[in-house]
Structure 1
Amino acid sequence: MKLQATTLNRRQFVKAAAFAGLAWSIPAAVLAALKKEIIQIGIITDLHQDLIPDGYERLTAFVADMKKAAPDALLQMGDFAYPGDKNKKLIDLFKNAHPTTLHVIGNHDTDAGYTKQQCIDYWGMPARYYTYLLKGIRLLVLDGNDKGSPGHKGGYPSYIGPEQAAWLKEQLEAAKEPVIIVSHQPLAGSAAVDNAAEIQAVLEQHRNRILMAINGHTHIDAHLQINGVHYVHINSASYYWMGEKYKHAIYTPAVHQQYPYLSYTCPYKDALFTRLTIDPVKGRIHIKGKASQWEGKSPEELNYQNSAMLHAGKEIVPRISEVKW
């Protein structure tokens, strides 16, 4: 993905850093509403099948891991694969990996002339934003690609429009179950949607019911808590986007010719993905860690700098950190 620089203010950054690596229990009000059975979701995001040469192999690694773990559902959180016949083999691999496969539309899934409706139809989504009940957990899946943001400054739309925001409020007010908010674009932190403050205020009103908000898009490893709501950035399955300024050779000339944007990235050697486990008996939530290495030069070696207060070796890393609370 191409990051639009959305800078964390100092207060948000300090708060995010202060909470990194700590652990929390499930709030009592949420715990009381949970059934006494463990819930697991396998999660992968930002595969970018159409920008990389080994997307099928990375997804195969995810599917193999999930076959062993046998979670209750699989979730891909956007920037997955263009919804057309050129990617049928890969999309079918995900579809056939589990009886319950859930999708989020990313900003790059509608590149090259593809549409949201094609994503809905080809992937098998109920709608561009929707709710799904999984073993007593209410998933509210958002579409952060709405147009019409008053604060839009160019690039891809990153916004939860009025109609969708009203739907989110209605769903939270009506939900009797604990809730997980799922989106491609973040609702807090780096590269958050244009109206992040508005959406955060909505979530804060229902924080005793919300387990967390999870997102992809940023290709970073980060966990924030803002006014009682946890926001977790799940890292990309494939790479960190550096940009044209940091263009460099990683693979053979033939590979770079076929995939010209690869040279703007720092790829991970291995696919990154995770499992989210909710254990009502222990009253704990666990995001499984997974680590890889950089393929070729690292962002540190390329002297990478950005304007979003992100740091190579901290948020910009080839891993998904172990998170428990």
Structure 2
Amino acid sequence: MVQRRKFLKGMGIALAGIPFASNKLQAETQHENYKPKALFSFGVLTDLHHDLIKDGPRRVEMFIAEMNRLKPDFVIQMGDFCVPKPANQVIMDAWNGFKGTKYHVIGNHDNDGGFSHDEVVSFWNAKAKYYSFDLNGYHFIVLNGNERLPGSAAKGYPNAIGDEQRDWLKHDLDSTALPVIVFCHQGIDDDMDGLKEGALIRLLFERANQKAGFQKVRLVLSGHHHEDYLNVYNNINYLQINSASYQFARLKNGYDFELTVDPLWAFVSVYTDGTIQVKGKKSAYATPREPADLREYDGYPTVPYISDRVIKTEAQR
């Protein structure tokens, strides 16, 4: 409640007791012995592509075993996990071995074979196709970037957010005074191969920040691109989480499917001073490659790891 009041104060809403709470936090953070405390943590796995690789269960089991050891507040898989067919129950059994809260993001390959979004949600026991939730003074938004717009003749996988979901997103952002973390399978910062309305959604986030008067939308996580990077646009961090399984490597003579020996994942911790710490996982390619043989793909290096990062955002109000 105290943290919620601090944010409401930042929004210009006057509530009894807020000045005292705000001054107390300011005094604490300015103290020479002040050490930020972890508010929460979560584990992230994306782009397993169980239906394309042979060792999906092993990779999920390794991730879940480590998460059960670290005990984050929740785990989330960010799409391209597995299609909803009975043979893939082995993947769900491995995933459900986590002794805590689990969330899902729909990816474009999760509908392969003609499965619907509703069938995916049911098979995964996911909360919904898109949804939001709160945890320890933060608001989380999960988007579905796999909609096809009415009348669209575009070929390939759908990569859109339709009017209904976009209206829901606007309302959801307006309805919370908390800082926000967003999950979407497709990169909202990638206008080449990411979300079709990426520029529009980024503008929506930026306007939400302007309206709030503070850095409301702080972190946007994506998968899909099988890359490892952090982009910052207009004070919003866009973090790409590398695939748990493989990359499409651009070589000197074409492209190749580069499987990693072990799965990749990230462990994210958020602190009271606004710091976001990302602990990545490193592996190697099953086919040894010299760095000179691996060329950049879409402007980003092809690497078998997820980088450790420290992302600075505004201190919690």
Residues 64 and 97 of structure 2 are in contact (CA less than 8 Å); yes or no, is this contact kept in structure 1?
A: no
For 2:196 and 2:290, locate their aligned partners in 1 and report how far apart those are by CA, in whole Å.
27
For 1:302 and 1:95, locate their aligned partners in 2 and report how far apart those are by CA, in whole Å.
39
Residue matched to 1:284: 275
For 1:138 and 1:305, locate their aligned partners in 2 and report how far apart those are by CA, in whole Å.
35
Residue matched to 2:208: 206
Counting only pairs closer than 5 Å after superposition, residues 247-286 of structure 1 correspond to structure 2 as: 264-280=256-272, 282-286=273-277
Residue matched to 1:38: 39
Residue matched to 1:230: 237
1:113 Cα deviation from its structure 2 partner? 2.3
Amino acid at match of 1:290: K
Counting only pairs closer than 5 Å after superposition, residues 159-238 of structure 1 correspond to structure 2 as: 159-189=160-190, 191-207=193-209, 208-238=215-245
Measured against aligned partners, the alpha-carbon deviations of 1:243-296 in whole angstroms (never above 9, x if no partner) come to 99847xxxxxxxxxxxxxxxx51111110001110011x431101122111110
Residue matched to 2:118: 117
Residues 178 and 211 of structure 1 are in contact (CA less than 8 Å); yes or no, is this contact kept in structure 2?
A: yes
Residue matched to 1:25: none
For 1:128 and 1:169, locate their aligned partners in 2 and report how far apart those are by CA, in whole Å.
16
Residues 268 and 295 of structure 1 are in contact (CA less than 8 Å); yes or no, is this contact kept in structure 2?
A: yes
1:206 Cα deviation from its structure 2 partner? 2.3
Amino acid at match of 2:237: H
Q: Which runs of 5+ in 1 are unaligned?
A: 1-27, 248-263
For 1:115 and 1:243, locate their aligned partners in 2 and report how far apart those are by CA, in whole Å.
32
For 2:95 and 2:290, locate their aligned partners in 1 and report how far apart those are by CA, in whole Å.
31
For 2:219 and 2:178, locate their aligned partners in 1 and report how far apart those are by CA, in whole Å.
13
Amino acid at match of 1:289: G
Counting only pairs closer than 5 Å after superposition, residues 2-151 of structure 1 correspond to structure 2 as: 38-148=39-149
Residue matched to 2:248: 241
Measured against aligned partners, the alpha-carbon deviations of 1:142-170 in whole angstroms (never above 9, x if no partner) come to 00001018887421111111111111111
Measured against aligned partners, the alpha-carbon deviations of 1:64-112 in whole angstroms (never above 9, x if no partner) come to 1111100000100000011221111211221231331000010000102
Measured against aligned partners, the alpha-carbon deviations of 1:158-206 in whole angstroms (never above 9, x if no partner) come to 1111111111111111112211110001100352211111100001112
For 1:60 and 1:162, locate their aligned partners in 2 and report how far apart those are by CA, in whole Å.
38
**Closer/same/farther in 2, CA of residues 297 and 211 from structure 1, 3 Å limit:** same
- Which of 295, 299, 307 is 1:309 aligned to? 299
TM-score by length of 2: 0.79
1:210 Cα deviation from its structure 2 partner? 1.4
Identity of paired residues, percent? 32
Amino acid at match of 1:323: R
Mean CA deviation greater in 154-163 or 227-236: 154-163
For 1:303 and 1:199, locate their aligned partners in 2 and report how far apart those are by CA, in whole Å.
32
For 1:197 and 1:283, locate their aligned partners in 2 and report how far apart those are by CA, in whole Å.
26
- Which of 290, 306, 310 is 1:320 aligned to? 306
For 1:285 and 1:149, locate their aligned partners in 2 and report how far apart those are by CA, in whole Å.
38
Residues 246 and 302 of structure 1 are in contact (CA less than 8 Å); yes or no, is this contact kept in structure 2?
A: no
Residue matched to 2:32: none
Aligned length: 274
Mean CA deviation greater in 283-292 or 236-245: 236-245
**Closer/same/farther in 2, CA of residues 29 and 274 from structure 1, 3 Å limit:** farther
For 1:164 and 1:236, locate their aligned partners in 2 and report how far apart those are by CA, in whole Å.
26
Larger radius of gyration: 2
Residues 38 and 279 of structure 1 are in contact (CA less than 8 Å); yes or no, is this contact kept in structure 2?
A: yes
Residues 152 and 194 of structure 1 are in contact (CA less than 8 Å); yes or no, is this contact kept in structure 2?
A: no
Mean CA deviation greater in 89-98 or 142-151: 142-151
Residue matched to 2:17: none
1:304 Cα deviation from its structure 2 partner? 4.9
Amino acid at match of 2:128: A
Residue matched to 2:285: 294
**Closer/same/farther in 2, CA of residues 29 and 93 from structure 1, 3 Å limit:** farther
Instruction: Note the aligned Cα RMSD (angstroms).
Output: 2.7
For 1:144 and 1:113, locate their aligned partners in 2 and report how far apart those are by CA, in whole Å.
17
Amino acid at match of 2:91: L
SS in 1 for 2:111: coil
1:132 Cα deviation from its structure 2 partner? 1.6
